[in-house]
Amino acid sequence: MKLRLMTRRRQGYMQKRTQAKNELHNILQRSNIKLTSYLSDIFSKTGQALIQLFIDGEILSIDRVEACRHKQVKASAEDLLTAMDGELSGVNRRLLEDSLEEYRFYSRKIKQMEDDIEYYILDHFPEEYGLLIEIPGVKKQSAAVILGEIGPHVEAFKTVGHLASWAGVSPGSNESAGKKKACTSPKVTNT
């Protein structure tokens, strides 16, 4: 139960961080700031440093942009400066600051929660956790969610079908007049 609460809280933090990222992207787009044209991730160190220039109200120059630019960034300082040639109002500057603070806040909360989850799992379910992460495609966070939602004892489910049905991943059986109809797995979450 405790693990389930922690994994769901982490998921909530992830959703809130995504919302903050989307808001920040929208502010930049409506201000005609096209950093995403040159940076694959505007939340990288370079991206955050460039956004901080806007927040601080800095006068943009090649030298300031170059100081923020990580050596692995392929775009030149000139290209980045051109992409930053937009109009950021005072209101949008404040909203940009809020969105970046939210992004950083939720990133810290996610990291803290992931550490707490791993500590809890290694203290309570080390063997089960080890077995789960050996499965191809099951990483640490997926294993934590599986343990949190299903628990370490799958004996509560009589068959694999019962577990799949409970998890909401078993397709329905749509048949009418002896004809089977195509169907997909239900989009249901157990909360």
User: pLDDT digits over 90-138, tens only?
Assistant: 999 999 999 999 999 999 999 999 999 999 999 999 999 999 999 999 8
pLDDT given for residue 191 in this prediction: 44
d(CA 62, CA 74): 15
Percent of all residues in the chain with a pLDDT value above 90, rounded to a whole number = 64
Residues 143-155, mean pLDDT to the nearest whole number: 85
DSSP 8-state code for residue 58: P
Question: How does pLDDT run across 49-94, given as a tens digit for each residue?
Answer: 999 998 998 888 999 999 999 989 999 999 999 999 989 899 999 9
What region, left, alpha or beta, does residue 70 occupy, with left being phi > 0 and alpha being psi -120 to 50 degrees?
Answer: beta
Q: What is the pTM of this model?
A: 0.79
Handedness of CA 18, 24, 26, 29 (dihedral sign): negative
User: Domain locations in the chain?
Assistant: 12-110, 157-191
